[in-house]
Amino acid sequence: NAGVTQTPKFQVLKTGQSMTLQCAQDMNHNSMYWYRQDPGMGLRLIYYSASEGTTDKGEVPNGYNVSRLNKREFSLRLESAAPSQTSVYFCASSSRFEAGGYEQYFGPGTRLTVT
Amino acid sequence: GEDVEQSLFLSVREGDSSVINCTYTDSSSTYLYWYKQEPGAGLQLLTYIFSNMDMKQDQRLTVLLNKKDKHLSLRIADTQTGDSAIYFCAEMDTGYSTLTFGKGTMLLVSP
């Protein structure tokens, strides 16, 4: 049981290049999320997927696209990278507590630098 | 909109108690969470509290919730150097679909 896995761990891109960040979870969770973390800004939600086949915008969706490929996988694509997208990207998935709330499980993160 | 505020930094000595504070704006929040992030790692859930509770204790951790003032605190008893990390407060929206995080409090524990 690997939990939430992300690839790659590190990436350097030039401005204008494109790339896809991959995320997979093996916990049979319905909901998955992409966040970015910047110094002093906490975590900000980019996109989420409440279930297979659905995606919704979060707080900072501009410049990104997502695909919920199947229940396990949720990818984040940067079509034309910009220096402002230099950040640490976290994927998460969520399950329901017995008491009724939700816990989000986080991957280890992808550190992306755009030059 | 929803907003979660935390102080950015706290420094304590090993063995002391640490108290990390958080305020939130969404009075309809159902669950409130504390996450821990160690250097170079993802976030890990420490504890959570349901909005109809005012206190929850879990070993060295005590969570206090003042719903009237929309104030949440995390007390760590007998703080250890291994507790040095960033601590995030988060609230869950009423639709149970997303979390809003604070900016995080960096806790530094000195020997």
pLDDT one digit per residue (tens) for chain A, 115 residues: 679 999 999 999 999 999 999 999 999 999 999 999 998 888 999 999 988 889 999 999 999 999 998 999 999 999 999 999 999 999 999 977 666 678 889 999 999 999 9
Tens digit of pLDDT for each residue in B74-91? 999 999 999 999 999 999
The contact set of B with A (CB < 8 A) is 4, 8, 30-31, 41-45, 48, 50, 88, 92, 96-104
Q: How far apart are CA A55 and CA A104, in angstroms?
A: 17
- pLDDT of B28 reads 76
CA A5 to the chain's CA centroid = 11
pLDDT tens series, chain B, 111 aa: 568 999 899 999 999 999 999 999 877 777 899 999 998 889 999 999 988 889 999 999 999 999 889 999 999 999 999 999 999 999 987 666 788 999 999 999 999
**3-class SS of residue A9:** coil
- Which residues from A are below 8 Å from B98, CB to CB? 33, 45, 48, 58
Q: What is the pLDDT of residue B96?
A: 60
- Classified as helix, coil or strand, B79 is coil
DSSP state of B68: T
CB contact under 8 A, B42 and A107: yes
pLDDT at B25: 86
Mutation target to probe the A interface, by most A beta carbons within 10 A, among B43, B87, B100, B106 is B43
**Cα separation of B72 and B90, whole Å?**
10
Residues of B with Cβ-Cβ distance to A56 under 8 angstroms: 97
- The count of CB pairs under 8 A between chains A and B is 53
Relative to beta strand B105-110, strand B9-13 is parallel
Looking at residue B94, what is its pLDDT?
Answer: 67
Other CB atoms closer than 10 Å to residue B78's CB: what's the count? 11
Q: Please tell me the predicted confidence (pLDDT) of residue A1.
A: 67
